[in-house]
């Protein structure tokens, strides 16, 4: 790649958030069972190529541009999706699957805590991802379909948040709510 080519800018971040959002939506909806005949296993191709490879490359471009947090988030989550996508057909115990999900839940928790200055949308996306993976992991250990479904819903909502953030960046929509005045009767002029 030519050194004069700009890489890792807000367009890369937007692409990464779109990839994360779409993959989380497919993964989450697959776990909810809300669409008859659609399971999380149906999201494997999307997870492998969009969530895994595209997100990983977007993360590398973010690192190149000097964005350590976004680079870490995209490369780490790209590794998660690639690993999940390539291992989906493997015969593993429910406890091994639960441990995998719980370890990645810790990664998502680190992202949620690290995004404290990045706004409510980023914190919400990574916080919901943490809770979703946590419940999916615990559901594997407890053999609980109910926990898995709730975890799936949380992952799907995290996907919607990531998707909205990326779409808002493209469409120049607001990503924060306007702040209200500090008290009753306070106006803009004092």
How high is the pLDDT of residue 127? 97
**Helices within the chain (DSSP H only):** 10-32, 44-46, 55-64, 68-87, 94-114, 120-142, 145-171
Distance of alpha carbon 77 from alpha carbon 23, whole angstroms: 11
- Say what the alpha-carbon torsion angle 123, 128, 129, 132 is, to the nearest 10 degrees: 160
Distance of alpha carbon 71 from alpha carbon 55, whole angstroms: 10
How high is the pLDDT of residue 5? 32
| For the chain, percent of residues with pLDDT exceeding 90 | 73
Mean pLDDT across 175-189 = 57
Domains of the chain: 10-171 (1.25.40.600)
* HSE, side-chain direction, 13 A CA sphere, residue 144: 15
Cβ(168)–Cβ(175) under 8 Å? yes
Does residue 190 register a pLDDT over 50? no
Mean pLDDT across 60-89 = 94
What Rg do the C-alpha atoms of the chain give, in angstroms?
18
Distance of alpha carbon 53 from alpha carbon 75, whole angstroms: 9
What mean pLDDT, rounded, does the chain reach? 88
Predicted TM-score (pTM) of the model is: 0.86
pLDDT digits (tens, 9 = 90+) for 77-123: 999 999 999 998 888 999 999 999 999 999 999 999 999 888 889 99
Does residue 142 register a pLDDT over 90? yes
């Amino acid at each position: 790649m030519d050194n004069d080519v700009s890489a890792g800018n807000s367009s890369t971040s937007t692409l990464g958030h779109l990839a994360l959002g779409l993959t989380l939506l497919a993964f989450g909806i697959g776990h909810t069972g809300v669409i008859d005949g659609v399971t999380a296993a149906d999201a494997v191709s999307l997870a492998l190529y969009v969530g895994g490879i595209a997100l990983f490359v977007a993360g590398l471009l973010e690192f190149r541009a000097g964005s350590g947090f976004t680079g870490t988030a995209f490369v780490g989550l790209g590794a998660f999706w690639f690993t999940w996508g390539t291992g989906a057909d493997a015969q593993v115990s429910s406890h091994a699957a639960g441990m995998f999900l719980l370890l990645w839940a810790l990664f998502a928790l680190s992202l949620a805590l690290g995004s404290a200055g990045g706004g409510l949308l980023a914190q919400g996306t990574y916080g919901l991802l943490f809770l979703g993976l946590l419940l999916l992991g615990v559901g594997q250990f407890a053999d609980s379909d109910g926990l898995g479904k709730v975890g799936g819903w949380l992952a799907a909502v995290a996907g919607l948040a990531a998707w909205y953030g990326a779409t808002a960046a493209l469409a120049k929509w607001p990503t924060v709510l306007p702040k209200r005045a500090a008290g009753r009767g306070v106006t803009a002029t004092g």
